[in-house]
Chains A and B, each alone.
Chain A
Amino acid sequence: MNAPEMGISPVAARGIFFDGRTAARQEVAVELASAALRLRADDGTILAEWGYDELETLSAPDDVLRLGRAGNPSLARLEVKDPQLAAAIDERSAPVDRTGRIERRLRDKVIFWSVAATLSLVLVAVLGVPLLATALTPLVPYPLERKLGAAVASQARASLDNKRTGSAFECGNTENEHAGRAAFDKLLAQIEAAASLPWPLTVMIVRRPEANAITFPGGHIFVFEGLIKNADTPDELAGVLAHEVGHVAHHDGTRTVIQGAGLSLLFGVLLGDFVGGGAVILAAKTILRTSYSREVEAAADTYGVTLIARTGGDPRALGTILLRIAGTTHPGPKILADHPDTRDRVAAIEATATATPGARRALLDQTQWAALKAVCSRV
């Protein structure tokens, strides 16, 4: 239509142009000038002149090169379907990314840094969160810790109480069980007096068959029926209770809650739960629990043994009952009888017990112990 000017390359072909002001479709002649792409309407008017360095490749179907002008608030678009013209533009313009090579390089950077971020998050979760939880735990005011414990305990109760047994979840409330509860309270009072914690314990005996006890934040403790059934002497039960009091004294429950909240925040909120079910949090909690619980349990053991020695009970009884109930559930990792952890624990208990000699006396008399054994007899 018009004679080639000086400096215009011989490549000239057709494209489709949208000026960004209306949605009208315009067929244009695309001229590859020396420094810019010139778009000319059929009547010869120049519709746009975009410098090669300002060009931007936009998302489009495979066989279309869709170009815009970078940083342009208007959405003017040029679409080129002719592969030869597209190649010629690509050749002249550095930012045009017809093959997606620039995009891929950027994407590799994204991938590298997201993997790096993930690694550092995992490191923080494994090393930082436990340290942070340990530092924060003493700062939690007691009333809050107490309320937190009550909330966690009521949640645990909801999952433990299957309500099908038809009797109350808590033992010691019926006529027949009162004597047992009184004996239990006597045992507890001796331990509590020896421990002289600055706050009271709230211990509930729960109707569950497992030989277990759980400590929640703020001095809330669940003692399972199965544990009382498995205890042969008052000292064994007292040993486990003293161990749990150790968890209370060390604020282990509160620290676990803070750790869990930290992990949930880190993985659940920051990363977003991308497969649902909090799988990553669950795994992180399991791993942390497994790797940190050994020290925590050992500390509670030492505390429990010295505490029992102070009440006049048998400090070795904790080791005896641990060996007996090994293989059933216990706070912390599952322990198997032949597992070195249990044997190590019992050996450590023996050693501590030997190092803390003290006068012995019976913690409960025969009738009281018999009543305590029947604390979950119902009726």
Chain B
Amino acid sequence: MTILDATVPTAQTGMPVRSPMVRFLGRSGAFWRLLARGAVMLMFTLGIYRFWLTTDIRRYLWSSTEVAEESFEYTGTARELLLGFLIAIAVLVPLYSAFFLLTLTLGQIWSVLSIAALTFLGQYAVFRARRYRLTRTVYRGVRFHQTGSAWRYSVYAVLWWMLILLSLGIAYPFAQSQLERFKMRNTFFGSLAGRFDGSGWHLFVRGLVLWALAVVPFAIGAVATILAIDWNTLISAAPGDDKASWLENSGLAGAVVFAALTGLWLLLSFAVLYPAFQTMVLRWWVSGLRFGDIAVDSRLRMSQVFGVYARFLGYALVFTFVVSVALMIGALALAAVSRPLDASYKEIVTTLLVLGAYVASALGYSTIYQATVKLGLWRCVVETLDISNTAVLEHVTAAGEPASPVGEGLADALNVGGI
């Protein structure tokens, strides 16, 4: 309670100042600079620079996060990430080729099997990547580490996600609590074992209203859409028939209205409900984390998360405006310059320019997203943390070895990466 109200002390001197247990020290200007330079470098290196950018981002976030007056340290290097990626390529290229050839010679069933195999491999990578990140996280001269089988986690995770899909999201809280339990049970800070105390039922009860608001109107809309269509008329209608009467008789027109309304509701509810959902899940997750006697509690408020997204929207709108103006000027200039050119050169130049604009704006939005949403959420979560029993830290002994970066590489190649 007092921690929240306490003004953040400025300069730290030798005297112990009463400061919050958990603080975020980073300046957002530095993070913006890091991301902007990274975006430019990504563009010129067609993405090779991402290993260095990822490492920079993690170093910034880790070292800006302070618990009990000590900041975290990220000891991973870009070179390790590059190595992990190369290992992943060595594993995946033959695998992809094998699946391609099998699909070609033995039929479509293999493409389904390959998707299934890559899904499992993706979850395997998620767990291994977590192990890499934990073993590269050092706090007070002691590293974190993670035990447990990544394949078991992968089977667990895929089964739970299937259950989530089949239950239209009802299983989500239980899946999250079980998967988080699995992860935290295998997580250690030196000799101090972690665990997860969050209850799936808690999240379920809290999330029920949100679920009802999002899924029930969607289900009603979908059912209304299906009912509005007279399927017999639709199927029996001769293709040569007058299109207007066919539309009318089959009820397609009404169905389109229902479908549009459902879509609109989905979009609106997503914009409004998602930050609320995220607040709820983040708070529940953080408050369930335990390391030995150390307990964590989150005071994250919904308004903070909405604020984060509002900032993102503001920046994105300004950026969109700037990009549109630049595109218009560019198009006019291109039309003026390229008139005398050969048509195939014109196509090449246009393709390159369109691609450049696309890449630049994609990187721009991603930079804005990372600087506002990713950093904003991290900061909010950190600044609303309460930690108790940190005295235990004095007695933690070191344990665990640095793990290989292969999980990071696989996660990168399969596009399932985290932070």
Q: Point out residues on A near B: beta carbons under 8 Å.
A: 14, 18-25, 58-64, 66, 74-77, 79, 81, 107, 110-111, 114-115, 117-118, 121, 144, 147-148, 151, 165-167, 265, 267, 269-276, 279-280, 282-283, 286-287, 290-291, 294, 333, 336, 339-341, 378
- In the complex, the chain B residue whose C-beta lies closest to that of A117 is B48
How far is the CB of B193 from the nearest CB of chain A, in Å? Answer: 14
Considering the chains assembled together, what is the distance between the CA atoms of A14 and B13 in angstroms? 11
How far is the CB of B131 from the nearest CB of chain A, in Å? Answer: 17
Question: Is B78's CB under 8 angstroms from A59's CB?
Answer: no
How far is the CB of B399 from the nearest CB of chain A, in Å? Answer: 10
Q: Point out residues on B near A: beta carbons under 8 Å.
A: 12, 14, 25-27, 30, 41-42, 44-50, 52, 59, 62-64, 66, 70-71, 73-75, 78, 85, 89, 92-93, 96, 103-105, 138-143, 189-190, 237-240, 342-344, 347-348, 351-352, 355, 358-359, 362-363, 366, 393-398, 412-413, 415
CB-CB under 8 A for A75 and B141, given A25-B394, A275-B362, A291-B348: yes
Q: Which one of A20, A66, A81, A280 contacts B398 once the chains associate, using CB atoms below 8 Å?
A: A20
**A270 — which chain B residues lie within 8 A by C-beta?**
89
**B75 — which chain A residues lie within 8 A by C-beta?**
58-59, 75
How far is the CB of B139 from the nearest CB of chain A, in Å? Answer: 7
CB-CB under 8 A for A166 and B78, given A279-B355, A333-B344: no
CB-CB under 8 A for A265 and B93, given A58-B73, A118-B45, A274-B47: yes
Besides A75-B138, A265-B93, 9 other A-B contacts (C-beta < 8 A): A14-B14, A24-B140, A111-B49, A166-B237, A276-B362, A279-B358, A290-B347, A339-B343, A378-B240
How far is the CB of B384 from the nearest CB of chain A, in Å? Answer: 20
Q: Which one of A22, A165, A291 contacts B396 once the chains associate, using CB atoms below 8 Å?
A: A22
**B358 — which chain A residues lie within 8 A by C-beta?**
275, 279
Question: Is A118's CB under 8 angstroms from B140's CB?
Answer: no
- In the complex, the chain A residue whose C-beta lies closest to that of B360 is A275
Q: List 23 A-B contacts (CB under 8 A).
A: A20-B141, A21-B398, A22-B397, A23-B189, A23-B190, A59-B73, A60-B73, A61-B25, A75-B141, A107-B52, A115-B44, A117-B45, A144-B104, A148-B104, A167-B239, A269-B93, A271-B47, A273-B415, A275-B359, A279-B358, A294-B344, A333-B343, A341-B344
Question: Is A272's CB under 8 angstroms from B141's CB?
Answer: no
- In the complex, the chain B residue whose C-beta lies closest to that of A294 is B344
A-B pairs with the 5 shortest C-beta distances? A166-B239, A18-B141, A274-B47, A114-B45, A23-B140
Question: Is A283's CB under 8 angstroms from B140's CB?
Answer: no
How far is the CB of A259 from the nearest CB of chain B, in Å? Answer: 16
How far is the CB of A117 from the nearest CB of chain B, in Å? Answer: 6
- In the complex, the chain B residue whose C-beta lies closest to that of A148 is B104
Considering the chains assembled together, what is the distance between the CA atoms of A61 and B78 in angstroms? 19
Q: Which one of A64, A77, A166, A286 contacts B351 once the chains associate, using CB atoms below 8 Å?
A: A286
**B63 — which chain A residues lie within 8 A by C-beta?**
59-61
Question: Is A21's CB under 8 angstroms from B48's CB?
Answer: no
Question: Is A279's CB under 8 angstroms from B359's CB?
Answer: yes
**B78 — which chain A residues lie within 8 A by C-beta?**
110
Question: Is A75's CB under 8 angstroms from B239's CB?
Answer: no
Question: Is A114's CB under 8 angstroms from B49's CB?
Answer: yes
Question: Is A59's CB under 8 angstroms from B89's CB?
Answer: no
- In the complex, the chain B residue whose C-beta lies closest to that of A150 is B104
**B30 — which chain A residues lie within 8 A by C-beta?**
62
CB-CB under 8 A for A274 and B42, given A22-B398, A81-B12, A279-B359: yes
- In the complex, the chain B residue whose C-beta lies closest to that of A27 is B14
Q: Which one of B41, B46, B351 contacts A271 once the chains associate, using CB atoms below 8 Å?
A: B46
Considering the chains assembled together, what is the distance between the CA atoms of A166 and B14 in angstroms? 82
- In the complex, the chain A residue whose C-beta lies closest to that of B363 is A275
Question: Is B66's CB under 8 angstroms from A61's CB?
Answer: yes
**A294 — which chain B residues lie within 8 A by C-beta?**
344
- In the complex, the chain B residue whose C-beta lies closest to that of A147 is B104
Question: Is A272's CB under 8 angstroms from B45's CB?
Answer: no
Considering the chains assembled together, what is the distance between the CA atoms of A170 and B71 in angstroms? 68
- In the complex, the chain B residue whose C-beta lies closest to that of A77 is B141
- In the complex, the chain A residue whose C-beta lies closest to that of B239 is A166
Considering the chains assembled together, what is the distance between the CA atoms of A59 and B344 in angstroms? 51
Q: Which one of A75, A107, A287 contacts B143 once the chains associate, using CB atoms below 8 Å?
A: A75
Question: Is A61's CB under 8 angstroms from B64's CB?
Answer: yes
Q: Which one of A23, A280, A290 contacts B142 once the chains associate, using CB atoms below 8 Å?
A: A23
**B342 — which chain A residues lie within 8 A by C-beta?**
340
Considering the chains assembled together, what is the distance between the CA atoms of A336 and B347 in angstroms? 13
Considering the chains assembled together, what is the distance between the CA atoms of A82 and B99 in angstroms? 59
CB-CB under 8 A for A74 and B70, given A20-B141, A81-B12, A114-B49: no
Considering the chains assembled together, what is the distance between the CA atoms of A154 and B175 in angstroms? 39
- In the complex, the chain B residue whose C-beta lies closest to that of A110 is B52
- In the complex, the chain B residue whose C-beta lies closest to that of A144 is B104
How far is the CB of A248 from the nearest CB of chain B, in Å? Answer: 19
- In the complex, the chain B residue whose C-beta lies closest to that of A111 is B41
**A24 — which chain B residues lie within 8 A by C-beta?**
140, 393-395
**A20 — which chain B residues lie within 8 A by C-beta?**
141-142, 398
Considering the chains assembled together, what is the distance between the CA atoms of A280 and B238 in angstroms? 44
Considering the chains assembled together, what is the distance between the CA atoms of A341 and B347 in angstroms? 13
**A118 — which chain B residues lie within 8 A by C-beta?**
44-46, 48
How far is the CB of A208 from the nearest CB of chain B, in Å? Answer: 15
How far is the CB of A71 from the nearest CB of chain B, in Å? Answer: 13
- In the complex, the chain B residue whose C-beta lies closest to that of A82 is B14
**B42 — which chain A residues lie within 8 A by C-beta?**
274
Question: Is B46's CB under 8 angstroms from A269's CB?
Answer: no
How far is the CB of B226 from the nearest CB of chain A, in Å? Answer: 19
Considering the chains assembled together, what is the distance between the CA atoms of A46 and B302 in angstroms? 51
Question: Is B48's CB under 8 angstroms from A280's CB?
Answer: no
How far is the CB of A173 from the nearest CB of chain B, in Å? Answer: 14
Question: Is B394's CB under 8 angstroms from A59's CB?
Answer: no
Interface centre among B89, B96, B140 (most CB of A within 10 A): B140
